[in-house]
Amino acid sequence: MSLMASSRKAKARTPSRGKLTLAKPGQLRGESLRRVARRYRLQGKYKKAESLYRRALSIAEKYFGRDHLEVAATLNELGILYKYMARFGEAKRVYRRALSIMERSLDSGHPDIASLYHNLGGLEHARRRYARGEPFARRAVEIREKALGLNHPDVAADIAALAAILDGQKRFDESEKLYKRAIAIFEKEPGPNQYELAVNFNNLAALYQAKGKTGRAEQLYRRALATKERVLGENHPDVAMTLNNLAMLYEAMEKHAEAEPLYRRSLAIFKRRLGDAHPNARVVLKNYTRLMRKFNKQEEAMKKDNKKATQARKKVTVKDLKPEASSQVKGGLKGKTPQHNETLLRGV
């Protein structure tokens, strides 16, 4: 299985609420907590991030009231975290509350409202409910294009999110065009958009893999992996996602010896960072287990073939040997392309 994130899954969007002229002590403290929590989230340290986000939420509600934009901003970031932790019900609840606050406080075409629609679409993507997520993703693109123009990086992120949702519905031609459009926008300013580029390389690679374009898929997976390792570190869950996908590609290409260490590394990262019960950890474990069964079958087949060859040699006499009898013993099973692969996409 390859992992689709939202996903993810290009990245969950954080509203920019504009400048507030007079910062209260509670606001400064809440923003400081959110900043540190965001750093922990990006590092994949989700439990530490949750504790800080909850403290920031409590402070915002105390100083500003339950219906203030500061509260909405904190709820949105908490929703992003819950999605990554696969706590989807909690993510939906806080996203909905944040959207309700923003819709009462802002104009309907404000970009921050687009951020909430983007994230609600990403949540449905993470739950593999792609058709439900599509209207949210399209609404985000519509609002943001009107507010920021067609070539803004935030618009590109919304386009990439919609592409991942269409990808999940196997609407590959539509999603491929959107991935390429998003990448073209991000590549105009590659420095600040390295992570977004890596996400879209991963997702476009998964699309090419589904289309059977293995050469293109491998090239893009490797670009995504190198960028993620450089930007996020070698032990981040997003790195594990692309490791799984590259391993899955090698497995489909019957390069099992190359796939095995990638699955093992991906599984180790997910278990260490997210725990055994996380959906992504379960996906990679299923993939790794399937590959190990193939290894075992190959070994058994080789043993049987070797045994038959040995027995045949014992029975052969000199006069039995003929030039055409020198065919090679096949040493393994040529398996079919895996039927239960699931590519992990972090697109929304």
pTM metric for this prediction? 0.79
Domain CATH number, residue 78 = 1.25.40.10
Please give the pLDDT value at position 27: 73
Q: Could you tell me if 222 and 257 are in contact, meaning their C-beta atoms sit under 8 angstroms apart?
A: no
Q: Is residue 311 part of a domain?
A: no
- At 156, is the secondary structure helix, strand, or coil? helix
Please give the pLDDT value at position 217: 97
Please give the pLDDT value at position 26: 67
> Could you tell me the mean pLDDT of each successive run of 10 residues in the chain, 348 residues long?
44 52 68 95 93 97 95 97 96 98 96 96 96 98 97 96 96 97 96 94 96 96 97 94 96 94 97 92 95 79 58 45 28 27 43
Q: Is residue 255 part of a domain?
A: yes
> Tokens standing for 75?
């709820």
Q: Is residue 2 part of a domain?
A: no
Please give the pLDDT value at position 317: 38
- The region, left, alpha or beta by phi > 0 then psi within -120 to 50, assigned to residue 275 is left
Expressed in angstroms, the distance from the first to the final Cα of the chain is 19
Distance CA 11, CA 196 (A): 7
> Tokens standing for 281?
């950890």
> Tokens standing for 87?
């706590």
Please give the pLDDT value at position 3: 53
Please give the pLDDT value at position 300: 64
CA 186 to chain centre: 18
Beta bridge partners of 8: 6
Q: What is the DSSP letter of 169?
A: T
Q: Is residue 20 part of a domain?
A: no
> Residue 322 — φ and ψ, nearest 5°?
-130, 155
Q: Could you tell me if 125 and 168 are in contact, meaning their C-beta atoms sit under 8 angstroms apart?
A: yes
Q: Half-sphere exposure (CA, 13 Å, Cβ side) for 228? A: 25
CB neighbours of 215 closer than 8 A, spacing ≥ 6?
none
State how far the alpha carbon of 195 is from the alpha carbons of 8, 227, 228, 317, in Å: 12, 7, 7, 67
Distance CA 73, CA 57 (A): 9
Please give the pLDDT value at position 326: 26
The residue range of the domain holding 276 is 28-304
- At 13, is the secondary structure helix, strand, or coil? coil
> For the chain, what is the domain count?
1
Please give the pLDDT value at position 299: 66
What one-letter code names the amino acid at 275? Answer: G
> Residue 8 — φ and ψ, nearest 5°?
175, -30
- At 10, is the secondary structure helix, strand, or coil? coil
Closest of 262, 241, 239, 238 to residue 250, by C-alpha: 262
Please give the pLDDT value at position 199: 94
